Structures are given as C-alpha cells and as structure tokens.
Amino acid sequence: MYQQIKKGALALSLSLCCIGAFAQKTITGNVKDATGEPLIGVTIQAGKGGTVTDIDGNFSLQNLKPGDKITISYLGCKTQTITVGNQSALNIVMQSTDKSLDEVVVIGYGTMKRRDLTGAVASVTGDKLAQNPVSNIAEALQGQLPGVSVTSQDGRPGGSMSIRVRGGGSITQSNDPLFIVDGVQVSRIDDIPADNIESIDVLKDAASTAIYGARGANGVIMITTKSAKEGKAQVKYNMYYSVKEKPTTYDTESAYDYVLRNWSYATSYGDKYGTNVAKYFGLGSENGNHLEEYRNMGTHNYQDDLLSSSHAWNHDLSVSGGTEHTKYYASVNYTNDKGSLKDTGFRRWNVNFKLAQDITKNLKWNIDARYSEMRFQGSQFQYATSSYAYRPIDTPLGVDDPSLLGMGDANVDPKYNPVSIYDSYTQYNTHNRLRATNSLTWTPIKGLTGKTELTLARNWREQQTWDDGYENGYNHATLVKSNGYNVRWTTTANYAVQGLGEDHSLDFLLGNEVLASKSNSTTFNGYGYPLGWDMDTAFGQLNMSHMESTSLKDTNKSEIGTPNHTLSWFGRVNYSYLSRYLFTATFRADGSSKFAPNNHWGYFPAAAAAWRISDEPWMKGTQDWLSNLKLRLSFGTSGNDNIDASLWKATWISETTEVDGKLVNTFRPGTMMANPDLKWETTISRNIGLDFGFWDGRLRGTLDFYWNTTKNILMMVPIDTSTGYTYQFQNVGKTSNKGIELALSYDIVNKKDWGLTFGMTYNFNHNNVDELFDNVLADTHTNWGSQMRMPYYDYVIRKDNPVGLVQGYKSLGFYTVDDFNVSADGVWTLKDGIPDNTVCNYSAGCAKAYKLPAGQKAFPGMYKFADVDNDGTVASNDVTIIGKTKPEHTGGFNISGRYKNFDLNANFAYQIGGDVYNANALHDMMGNKDTGFGSARVSELADCWKMYNVDNNGNLYAVTNPDELRTLNAGAKYALPYCEYGLVTSEFIEDASYLRLQNLSVGYTFPKTWMKPLGISNLRIYATVTNLFCIKGYSGIDPDVNTDFNAGGNGFPTPNYDYQAYPKTRSWTFGLNLAF
C-alpha cells in the first residue's frame, strides 16, 4: 500500500511539472516610436530577467507564464507595463514624454537631471555643434544658447572669440567665463575639436556658479568630451574639406576719382604741392591734360594680390569600447585651416585618451590624458588690409617720379609695395599643451561616493618673428619662449541620504580643491644678421647678429612669473520633497594668493528653490497639454580672481643699460603703486526663471529674468607723482547687468518619414555703470590716425551708462551753400543761429579760397557738428557720447528638418542694436596732411563735397560761385575730406544690427541595410555653406567684428572696433561621418 501511494505521488509531481513546463512560453516583440522607426536599446524587464532591443527594435523573452508583468522603458518615453496572456508576439509603440526633463546636465562637481535643476543652465549637444564645421567651437556657439553672446575678432584662422555670459560685470579685468573641460579649468577652448564634444552646459546664475566661488562671476562653461563606454569596439572617422571664397574687400575709387581728389587736395595744401601732383599724373594744360583719359583706366587693388580663395581640412578618428569593468576611448584630430590672406593659417593636432577601470566592485580608476599642438602663421596684417591705398595706377600718365608727392611718396614708390613689405615679415606662434587627470572613485556604502582627482598640466609657447629688413634696412629676429604649469587636486564626497522614503530626497556634497599655477618667459631680440640669411638660418644661430647701431643692441629679457595658489572648501545641499519642491544651498570659501594677506579669503554663498507646478495634484487636469511647468528662484554671490597677481604689491621693471661699454641688467620701480587693501570683485546674482513644456514636450522652453550686480570694481586711480608712482589699482566702482532670456523649441512635425523642428533664443541685456569714483582713469583710445586725432580718448567709461561708450562729435553733415550769406564782394558769413566750427584743421588753401569774416572758421563743405553746450561755437568741449557698442538684443534661431534619409539644418544669428566703430571709414575721410598725397581711398570718397572743378583748359580752380558750388555738390553725402587729422564723428559710428545665416547644411545617411554587409554601422555625407549671407545696415564689411579689444593697451575695453580687420569668408564644406 505504501509503495502504491509513493508511486502515485511521484506520478502526480511529474504531471504538475509537465503542466508547468507546458505553461511557460517565449514571447518575441518589436518596439517602435510614434513615427514607426525601430528603437534600439529599449529596456524590456520581466521579473528578475530582461533584455534590450536590437538595432531593428526586436527582442525575445523566455520562460514567461500567464500573469507575468513585462515592463518596457526608454529614455524620453512613457514606461509601459503589459501582462502576459495568450499572446506570443508583441508590437509596442512607445509614446514620447518631454525628453528634455530627463537630460543629464553637468553642474559643478557633479551631474543632475534637468527636471531637478534649481539654477539657470543652458545646454547644447555636441552633435548640434558638429553641424557647424569650424575650427573654434566658440564660433559654433553663436546664437545657440540663451544668455551667451559670442563676438569674433575678425576672419583670421584661429582668431580669438569673445564669449560673454549675461554681459560680464568687470571693466578693466577679464570678463571671460570660466572654462571647465571634463572637470578641469582651462584658459581657452580653441584646442578642443567639435567632434570630441559630448555636450556643453553653461552655468549662468549664482545658484549654479557659486560652487566655483572666486572664479564663477562671469559664468561657467562646462564642456564634457566623449568618453569611454561599454560595448563592442567602435571606430568613427569624421572629416570635412572646406573651400573658402576670396573674401569681400572694400570698393575703392575709380582712377578718375582718385586722380582728381589727390590733385584737388594737394592744391588745397599749397600751390606747389598741387603743381607737383599734376606733373606726376599728367594733369592740366602744362602736363598734357590727361585727366579725362583716367576715366577709361582700370585700377590695381593690391588686396587682390594678397587675398585669394583658400581651403581647410579636418580629420577626426576615434576608437571606443570595452567590457563591464574596463572601458576605453581614444581619438586623434588634425585641422589645417589655410587663411585667405597670403601666408596665414592655423594648424592643430589633438590627441585624447581615456580609460575607465573597475579595480574592485566599489573602487574605480579613471585617467584622461590630452595633448594639443596649435600653430598660428601670419603677422603684420595691416599691410594687407590697408594695401588698397597703395599705387592704384600702375602707369601714371605724367612723370612717374614718387618724389613729386613729397611725404606721400610711400603711397606710390615701388620700394613701398605692400606685397613686398608684407612678404618681408614672417611669424610662427606655436602653443603646446599637455594635461592628464587621474581619479579614484570609491563607493564604500550605498549612497556615499568619494572621489579624488589630480590634474597635472604643462604648457609651452614659442613665437618666432622675422623681419628680413626690406622696410627698415636691417633684419631683425625676435624669439619669445614661455612655459608654465597648472596643478589641481580636488577631493569630493557625495552622500545621498538613505531611508527617507519616496517623499523625501536629500544629498550632500563636500569638497576641497587646491590650485597652483606659474609661468615664465624669455624674449630675445637680435638685429643685423649677415646679408642673405633667411629666417631658418637666423633662428638656428641667434647669437650671430652684428648690428653696429648703438640704439639697436641685442636684448635678452626674462620674466619669472608670480606663482598663483588657491585653497578652497565648498559644499552643496540638495533637498526634494515629493519631487515637486526643490531646494539647493551652496557655499564656497576661496583663499587666493592674488590678493594681499588681509584679503586672501573670499566667501560665496548661494541658495535656490524650484517648484514643479505641473506635478501638483490639482494640475492633473492639464496633463493632456501641459507636460512641464517649473518655477525657479535663486540668489547668491560669486567672485572674479582672474586678475594679475601683482596688482596689490610693489613691482619692479628690469632694464638693460650700457655701463662702461658693457650691458648691465638694472631694476627700477614700476609706475604702479602697491595696494595691500585690494579686494575681490564680487558679483551678486538674482534670478527668477520658468521652465515649461506643452504636449509632451513638443513645445518647450525657458524664460529667465536676472539682475547681476558687480561691486568693488578694480580700476586705475591716479596718485600724486611725488610718490614716485603714477597710478594705483583700487576698488572704486560698481556695475550691473539686467536682462531677459528666452529659449524655445518646437517640434512642428514628427512623422515616420519626415519631421521639422524650430528653435530660437533671445537675449536682452542692459549693462550699466552704477557707481564710479571721481578721478578714476576711465578713458582709453584707439590706434587709428595720428596723435592729433580729435578727441584722442575716444572710448570712455561714464556713470549711468553702459561700458563701451564712444565719444566724439555729433555729425550734422556738412556746411552747405545755404548755411551762408554771401555778400556782393564774396564774403561767406554764417547765418544767424548756425554755430561756427573751430575743431577742424583744414588745409590752408580751403580758407584762402573763400573770403571769411574775421574769426570765422566755417566754409562750405566743412564738417558740421552739433553745438552741444549751445555757446554758438563747436569746440573741444562739444565732444559728447556718440555710440554705445554693447547691443541689448542678441540671439539666434534654427530650423532642422528630415525627410527619410535626408536631413537639413539652418542656423541663424542676429543682433539688434549696439554700434560698431568704423575706423576704416573715418581714417579714409581725413586728409592726413602731405603724407596722404597719392593714397587711394574707399569708393565713398567719390560722394564727398568738392571745392574744385576743372575748366575748359583742363586746369583746376576753386569754385566760389554759390550757384556753381551748389550744383557741383548736388549729390554730396559727406564733408570735404581735407581735414589734416582724424575726427571721431557719429557719421561712422554705425548700427551694428545684423541677421546672418551662420550655416546651412544638407546631409544624407545611407540605409543601414546597405551598410550592414560592409560592416559599417553608419555613413552620412553632408554639404554645408557657412556665412551664406548677412543682412546689415553697416557700411563696412562685417558688423560682427572686434579687431582689438584693448586697442589702447591699458586694459580698458574697446569693443566693436573695426580697423584693418582680417576679412571673413564664405566657405563651402563637404564632409562625411563614418562609423564601423
């Protein structure tokens, strides 16, 4: 009986097992998005097991039984749960949510999802930047980010870019943002290829920047480069080839206009000068009367000899992959950008290696090493950009003797050919940087992560400048070598508090950072190398110079930089309640050696709060159309220690002096007096922002209002010269920036085969100098014209105005015939109420041509300026503000489209307001005394007032008859260009507004089914045109220009200054993106 029962139980057990085995099943499926495209990498979870979809969106799950739950999740999509029933196959369509909320944003010493941010952070992906193939990634940022403005120096290869976050608060010190690359501070970002970038995040308010304390006042640009990832080895190759058109140059005078103007001006300067110019060109009855023949003569613009089309190459190769415990990434990039100006260019090598290794389960080691080499070629650009002024007529119809033009002989003499002069100068500037970061990350318990990073960096720079002596009669070699180091050691501890339940979230960050840097330089000047030596020979034997001139002895100067050290402690607390109420508090203490001992330490607190309104229970009725609504508030402080470490202490100047026939190094006190009480420039930031999204993020954006105040502004203050010094840096001012930022993105269409997206940014920034102490040295000057330029100080700082003011004379055009009463005996008397002009120094012949009342200076055609003080006479005290260079409205917009395998991207940038200082035009409008004889000018001078005409005999005469003078100048637009020195007038302080199509790109991605048999995972080809057009009102070439931000050389800003700028080009780029 027992045996029968045992056998029956065994049979029943086997039967149940068979039934269970029969009930288990395999389910296959496919996952697509709303457009019907397969989704790769979708997580499929069932119980403790799971899988991910393959490249075609397929998956398979085994050993499932009815009633089991399958969870399908994917970034940016709503999670779905399906209960297993009788089905054996699943076709799943994922519905998108607001993807932007799940974006991971890089913040100071950590990361955070965008939905949890309390500060103002703008982001752009590396893929979007790569759509604009440029050598400097700063250029690709233009118009892409709210609150970020980018201005280019000009069109030179490798030229600098000015980046400002919310305007910048300093006046004399740096307004550059802090650049952080993979957690490490760097001085510039032009050595990072766009292909290497994963994302760029810009921290704008104090809630975000205070964690960087003394370095965060001007905003923080966080660049994350591509890194090691788990998976099969993947090889990527990206390349492009650009063809750059010959740049646009200034239109110049016709041969006839050039000859007649020079003859007229020289005659006004003096009869003998006019006679000599007439002889040179063959003018007048005594010299063959050739004037009319010049109407049919062409001109030679020497810019055409120096400028041409050019090209650029870029190659980027990367390898990445790894296992669960070991991951690697390596890349090499090469860029060669040939300049459109002869013998100029930019070349860059960049190598990067990253390795992530799991030493144990909770201990990880990472290394990030990067090397870059950049080489800039070219100098003395002014000889090329101003070369149109030289000898436009190759064969004058008179006596080709340059000496006839007196001091103007250099404008026509073959030995002053600008091409030859330009060719005589050569400069190579090489920058090498090596940086390596080692880090250990330890997770001893759940929620606690400790990390320590050590970064060591070295940099070397060598500048070789060679003058072969063509212009000066002796050759000259200059070698500048510098080197420096940077050390960074950072230790952080992050703890996410455990056991608080689902309603609460609390985490802490504590950290310590030590920074050290130093640089040294040596400069050697050698004069008079043996005849026939070229640049390579001279730099191979620098000590072989043999200049006999006592005023040009070889010099050797060495500078040992001041070591900079910073010790910092910082912390941050993030708290969330119900994931709706978010709070952040940050504090940092920085001790810097750049300040005196009694002001070493600065303390920078900040706090922020955010309210996710859309997650409130009472907002459930809006979920069909409102996907995100978050209100943010922040307040805090940050500092600016990006200053010279010597400003607070006494400095000495080294000199080389000859004593008893020997060169001796001596030292003397500098002109700057020490200030041991120097303090930090501190920025107080206030921000209120709104993040919003509609229809699952189809329309999304941010709106921010901010008010930044920077106090303790450092500026130069004159002191009593009896002290032995002339000035001292003191904390004497305060500035503010108030603004609005808007960013929008709208997915207009998102179908399977096609889609269209529109995005835009708008920035309004009002800059103001709130406080400025008396007697502050707040004026600076440019470098065009002569020392006699009126006014000499043309850029000024004034209280209750923005930084970057231009002062000069407000133009009212010119005096016309109708401004005078002309008596029967030919006396030209100004009418009542029309002020005289005493500031213009016209050539003597102008006043002699017209009979003027005693004391009157004005005559027909002279500049006419506003009498600002209403005293009846225009004089130097009528100088007034004529330009504000800071624009208040900037931004950009972009359109992205796709149709099947084709893609289209168009990026626009715009600026509304602000002024550009057109010094090129102002320079050409001055006579420049007799040194101007023979000089060609821009074509606008044909529209200037004329005081001379040619009679029937071909001779020149001054027109003094009112009716004839009125008729002669019926179409005149500008004043008579005979003033001997430069005048800063509002006429050419012009509107800097523009709309530019930055780039237009069309691409095609080959179908994966074609590429898969070839082992290719992705192949895209594209064509891009850059700088396709620019709509502007500016009479110059390009309003987006900043030739020299420190033209006066004294640290004060000279923004939007356009003088002899390297011209920009339009480029046509063809490239491919290839992945194996």
pLDDT of residue 635: 96
Compute the radius of gyration of the chain from its Cα atoms. 35
Single residue among 947, 976, 1005 that ends a domain in this structure = 976
pTM of this prediction?
Answer: 0.86
Q: Is 522 left (phi over 0), alpha (psi -120 to 50) or beta?
A: beta
Contact by Cβ (8 Å): 406, 930: yes
First to last CA, the chain: 71
Query: Same domain, yes or no, for 829 and 948?
Result: yes
What's the CATH code of the domain at 127? Answer: 2.170.130.10
What's the CATH code of the domain at 40? Answer: 2.60.40.1120
7 within domain boundaries: no
Tally of CA atoms within 13 A in the half-sphere of 650 that contains its CB: 7
Tally of CA atoms within 13 A in the half-sphere of 770 that contains its CB: 16
Query: Same domain, yes or no, for 191 and 123?
Result: yes
Output the six-digit token pair for 46.
């069932």
pLDDT of residue 65: 80
Query: Same domain, yes or no, for 824 and 951?
Result: yes
pLDDT of residue 551: 67
59 within domain boundaries: yes
Query: Same domain, yes or no, for 78 and 107?
Result: no
426 within domain boundaries: no
Output the six-digit token pair for 125.
């992906």
Query: Same domain, yes or no, for 58 and 126?
Result: no
Residue-range definition of the domain harbouring residue 113 = 100-227
pLDDT of residue 20: 43
Amino acid at 800: D
Cis peptide before 676 (omega within 30 of 0): no
156 within domain boundaries: yes
pLDDT tens-digit profile of 592-602?
988 888 888 99
Spans of the chain below 70 pLDDT? 1-24, 35, 48, 75-76, 96-102, 548-551
Single residue among 177, 212, 227 that ends a domain in this structure = 227
| 491 to 451, 488, 585: CA distances (angstroms) | 6, 10, 19
Pairing of strands 43-46, 49-52: antiparallel
Output the six-digit token pair for 613.
């309104």
Long-range contacts, 710-713 (Cβ 8 Å, 24+): 710/169, 710/170, 710/217, 710/640, 710/681, 710/682, 710/683, 710/684, 710/734, 710/735, 710/736, 710/737, 711/681, 711/682, 711/684, 712/679, 712/680, 712/681, 712/682, 713/169, 713/170, 713/171, 713/172, 713/681
Phi and psi dihedrals of 1034, rounded to 5?
-70, 135
C-alpha dihedral sign at 639, 641, 642, 648:
positive
Query: Same domain, yes or no, for 136 and 203?
Result: yes
pLDDT of residue 340: 92
CA–CA separation, 1059 vs 707, rounded Å? 34
Q: Helices marked H in 282-329 — which ranges?
A: 303-306
Query: Same domain, yes or no, for 74 and 173?
Result: no
Query: Same domain, yes or no, for 54 and 85?
Result: yes
| 104 to 76, 214, 586: CA distances (angstroms) | 12, 26, 20
87 within domain boundaries: yes
- Among 599, 710, 593, which residue's Cα sits nearest to residue 644? 593
State CA 707 to chain mean position distance. Answer: 23
**DSSP calls for 360-374:** ETTEEEEEEEEEEEE
Query: Same domain, yes or no, for 945 and 839?
Result: yes
Single residue among 211, 227, 243 that ends a domain in this structure = 227
- Among 981, 1015, 968, which residue's Cα sits nearest to residue 264? 968
DSSP character at residue 721: G
174 within domain boundaries: yes
Query: Same domain, yes or no, for 860 and 963?
Result: yes
pLDDT of residue 536: 93
| 414 to 393, 411, 838: CA distances (angstroms) | 12, 9, 39
Query: Same domain, yes or no, for 217 and 200?
Result: yes
CA–CA separation, 670 vs 994, rounded Å? 44
628 within domain boundaries: no
Number of domains in the chain: 3
CA–CA separation, 842 vs 846, rounded Å? 7
107 within domain boundaries: yes
Output the six-digit token pair for 185.
């501070």
Query: Same domain, yes or no, for 150 and 199?
Result: yes
